[in-house]
């Protein structure tokens, strides 16, 4: 019934923030979701401690992994969180109820995305501070590049979340349906271990995962070195990081386009029971 009209573009900023405030309140009241979205990252930060002092790819291992976490947190705060929110709202009928108001579709969904983004950005900010304070990190060499990668990641994973919610019958099952993307991205995006240790063919296919380009862009912007290359990443000059990351941005854009198409087909507003 919804077809390609699922994501019209009209956005009223006041209404958008009001939906986002509602979402924030609901997240705060739902402690399980809050823990998954906000607590999990804490565990990952703890994992950095034993890595501090070792060097991989010419940088401190804790910093290398920590910058990977900047991207990885997308999976919890944005992807899993939104897949659960969209599925729950649909199944409990609140999505349809909100659609009965003057709110546009973009404001209803965008409000959830905004809250998830704020939560994620807060985690990014905290982690960035922790990297500086505890692991000898620095201010990003090209913060705009890092933020651009993060923003692209938000778009892609918010869209992927709406696709996953569309194929998930109940809230409980979201924990299963998010797993393929979660596992693939956790294991294969170069966060847990550098992709350089793998055979070239595998490396190239893993670069096509939606999280990999985010990791590459974030690290390139943070360290000022070309992290899309292998071995010890060469330093890049002003603007050089952007050039080096063009293929990564292209992969992100492709994911966004594919996910948007899939979302327009799969996303549902009405509960499945009817």
Partner 1 sequence: MENTAIRVRELRQRYGEFEAVAGVSFEVARGELFALLGTNGAGKTTTLEAVEGHRAAQSGEVRVLGRDPYRERRAVRPRLGIMLQEGGFFADLTTAETIDHWRGFVEDPRPRDELLDLAGLREQAGVRARQLSGGQKRRLDLALALTGRPEVLFLDEPTTGMDPEARHATRRTVAELVRDGLTVLLTTHYLEEAEQLADRLAIMHRGRVVASGTVAEVVGGHGDRVRFRVPPDVPVADLPVLRGVAAGIEVDAGHATATYTLPPDDLQPGVYGLLRWADERSLALPGLRVDNASLEDVFLSTAGAES
User: Of all residues in the chain, what percent are helix, strand and coil, respectively (each to 5)?
Assistant: 70, 0, 25
To the nearest 10°, report the CA torsion of 99, 101, 103, 106.
0
Q: What track of x and - describes contact with partner 1 for positions 123 through 142 (by CB under 8 A)? A: --------------------
CB nearer to partner 1: give 22 or 258. Answer: 22
Q: How far is the CB of 37 from partner 1 (least distance, A)?
A: 16
CB nearer to partner 1: give 99 or 261. Answer: 99
Q: How far is the CB of 67 from partner 1 (least distance, A)?
A: 36
Q: What track of x and - describes contact with partner 1 for positions 17 through 36 (by CB under 8 A)? A: -xx-xx--xx--xx------
Largest CA distance in the chain: 58
Figure out which of the listed residues 10, 176, 231, 238 binds partner 1, where binding follows CB under 8 A. 10
Of residues 121, 123, 137, 142, the one with CA closest to residue 63: 137
Q: What track of x and - describes contact with partner 1 for positions 79 through 118 (by CB under 8 A)? A: ----------x-xxxx-xxxxxxxxx--------------
CB nearer to partner 1: give 1 or 43. Answer: 1
CB nearer to partner 1: give 170 or 203. Answer: 170
Tell me which H or E stretch contains 55.
Answer: strand 55-56
Is residue 261 involved in binding partner 1 (CB under 8 A)? Answer: no
Q: How far is the CB of 82 from partner 1 (least distance, A)?
A: 16
Tell me which H or E stretch contains 60.
Answer: strand 59-60
* Backbone angles phi and psi of 260, in degrees to 5: -65, -40
Burial of 164 (0-12, 13-18, 19+ CB in 10 A): buried
SS3 235: strand
Per CB under 8 A, residues contacting partner 1 are 1, 10, 15, 18-19, 21-22, 25-26, 29-30, 89, 91-94, 96-104, 271, 274
């Amino acid at each position: 019934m919804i077809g390609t009209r699922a994501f019209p573009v009209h956005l009223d900023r006041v209404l958008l923030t009001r939906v986002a405030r509602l979402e924030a309140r609901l997240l705060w009241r739902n402690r399980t979701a809050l823990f998954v979205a906000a607590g999990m990252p804490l565990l990952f930060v703890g994992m950095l401690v034993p890595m501090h002092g070792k060097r991989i790819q010419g940088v401190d291992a804790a910093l290398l992994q920590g910058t990977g976490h900047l991207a990885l947190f997308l999976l919890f705060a944005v992807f899993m969180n939104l897949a659960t929110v969209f599925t729950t709202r649909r199944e409990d009928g609140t999505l349809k109820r909100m659609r009965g108001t003057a709110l546009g579709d973009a404001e209803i969904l965008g409000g959830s995305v905004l809250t998830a983004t704020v939560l994620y950005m807060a985690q990014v900010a905290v982690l960035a501070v922790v990297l500086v304070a505890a692991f000898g990190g620095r201010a990003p060499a090209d913060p705009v590049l890092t933020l651009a990668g993060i923003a692209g990641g938000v778009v892609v994973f918010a869209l992927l979340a709406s696709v996953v919610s569309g194929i998930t019958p109940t809230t409980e099952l979201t924990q299963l349906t998010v797993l393929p993307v979660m596992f693939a991205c956790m294991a294969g995006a170069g966060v847990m271990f550098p992709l350089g240790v793998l055979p070239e063919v595998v490396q190239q296919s893993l670069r096509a995962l939606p999280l990999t380009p985010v990791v590459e862009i974030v690290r390139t912007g943070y360290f000022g070195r070309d992290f899309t290359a292998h071995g010890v990443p060469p330093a890049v000059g002003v603007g050089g990081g952007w050039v080096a990351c063009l293929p990564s941005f292209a992969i992100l854009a492709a994911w966004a386009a594919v996910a948007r198409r899939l979302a327009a087909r799969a996303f549902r507003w009405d509960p499945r029971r009817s």
